[in-house]
Chains A and B, each alone.
Chain A
Amino acid sequence: MKAMNRDADHVNFKLLEAAIRFNARILGLTAGTLAAAVIYIATQASIVKWGGDSGGYLELLAIFFPGYSVSSTGAWVGAFWAFIYCGTGSWLSYRVYGKVLGARISGLLLSPGSTMNPVLKPSTLRLHGVSLGIAIGAIAGLGLFASTAWLVIRGTAGESVHAALFSNYIPGYSVSIFGGLWGAIELFGLVFLSCLLLATVYNRLVEMRHKTP
């Protein structure tokens, strides 16, 4: 952490590290719960709509979610795995975001230095697009590579026709170790750009909404 903040004198690194750890846990909890809810609702919706014929693409999740199936019990199993994967991914993303951002985190407030009581009178959060892009892009790329490698390791790479469809959006991607590596790099770029866009729109709106005359 100190290495990333050589130009920042008199920074309480212990507090900064604790702050990043705290927010990483909160984000992990938030994203994990939302992902669990999405998988649970999608599974239940599939059961309600198609009954005994439900499954289809959702059933493919069982490759990554051991014990998952499109059933009432499977919905809970899926929710559990979604919480684990998404929660861990988000927690890791914020850790990377915090490391890349370092002491500049305080400069992201709408009015830095003006909030003397951050607990009772919180400031409004702004996003740092580049750090966000690096963090989420890296985790997304790693996720794609790990998923592809898993398909190769379990010996079903040749049958993974659905995963191969990624090549429509990520030219050069294939269900192989090299294809996964190439796909991870390209996905990093795409997610990085998306995060830049998200942060720009969000920050612009925050500035517009909280502009003091």
Chain B
Amino acid sequence: MSRPVKDHEILSAVFAKMDAVAMTVALGALCSLLLFLATAVLLVQASPDSYFVGEHLRDLSDYLPGYSVSWMGAGIGAGYGLLLGGIAGFLVAVYWNLTHYFALGVMLISSAELAD
């Protein structure tokens, strides 16, 4: 049988803050890996010599200068994935924490008004 879960533990879980650095690195690493794999999957697939591999994915270079569907491009894409995923992770963590603080502030003000 598990131990009883106290109310303050549930509240702690609700108001727990996200670690911005950890989320930056974790999401950056995941996006880096995904973009690398997305390119690599196309490169390792068997295709006729005349077939132009990654016709559509290469258009990512419109937004990610230097990217291409090649092994070198996969490495460059991984770098972009790390950067963009990291920025997204940082924003998610910061925004998550800020909205919690904001909601908390609203709740504290509301309860203070009710007490008056």
* Chain A residues at the B interface, C-beta cutoff of 8 Å: 7-12, 15-16, 19, 22-23, 26-27, 29-31, 33-34, 42, 45, 49, 56-57, 103, 105-106, 108-110, 112-113, 115-119, 122-125, 162, 165, 168-169, 194, 197-198, 201-202, 205-206, 209-210
Q: Contact at B30–A194, with CB atoms within 8 Å?
A: yes
Chain A nearest CB: distance from B7 CB in Å?
5
Q: Contact at B16–A125, with CB atoms within 8 Å?
A: yes
Flag whether B45 is at the interface (Cβ < 8 A): yes
Q: Contact at B2–A7, with CB atoms within 8 Å?
A: yes
Chain B nearest CB: distance from A189 CB in Å?
14
Give the interface SS of chain A, mostly helix, strand, loop or mixed.
helix
Q: Contact at B14–A118, with CB atoms within 8 Å?
A: yes
Give 26 A-B contacts (CB < 8 Å), ordered by A residue.
A10-B5, A15-B7, A15-B11, A16-B10, A19-B11, A19-B14, A26-B96, A26-B99, A26-B103, A30-B92, A31-B92, A33-B95, A34-B91, A103-B5, A106-B10, A109-B13, A112-B12, A113-B9, A119-B11, A122-B17, A122-B100, A194-B30, A201-B30, A205-B19, A206-B22, A209-B22
Flag whether B1 is at the interface (Cβ < 8 A): yes
Chain A nearest CB: distance from B14 CB in Å?
4
Q: Contact at B1–A9, with CB atoms within 8 Å?
A: yes
Residue count of chain B within 8 Å CB distance of chain A: 45
Q: Contact at A198–B30, with CB atoms within 8 Å?
A: yes
Chain B residues whose C-beta falls within 8 Å of the C-beta of A105 in the assembled complex: 10, 13
Bound state CA distance, A182 and B62, in angstroms?
32
Q: Contact at A125–B19, with CB atoms within 8 Å?
A: yes
Bound state CA distance, A180 and B88, in angstroms?
28
Bound state CA distance, A42 and B84, in angstroms?
13
Q: Contact at A194–B12, with CB atoms within 8 Å?
A: no
Q: Which of B7, B33, B42, B95 contacts A30 (CB 8 A)?
A: B95
Q: Mark B49-66, 1 if CB is under 8 A from A, else 0.
A: 000000010010011000
Chain B residues whose C-beta falls within 8 Å of the C-beta of A110 in the assembled complex: 16
* Chain B residues at the A interface, C-beta cutoff of 8 Å: 1-2, 4-19, 21-23, 25-27, 29-30, 33-34, 38, 41-42, 45, 56, 59, 62-63, 88, 91-92, 95-96, 99-100, 103-104
With A8-B4, A106-B13, A109-B16 known, 15 other A-B pairs at CB within 8 A are A8-B2, A11-B10, A12-B10, A19-B13, A26-B99, A29-B99, A31-B92, A56-B59, A106-B6, A112-B12, A124-B19, A197-B33, A201-B29, A205-B21, A209-B22
Bound state CA distance, A105 and B11, in angstroms?
10
Identify the interface centre among A105, A117, A122, A205: most chain B CB within 10 Å of its CB: A122
Identify the interface centre among B16, B17, B92, B96: most chain A CB within 10 Å of its CB: B16
Bound state CA distance, A205 and B91, in angstroms?
18
Q: Contact at B10–A15, with CB atoms within 8 Å?
A: yes
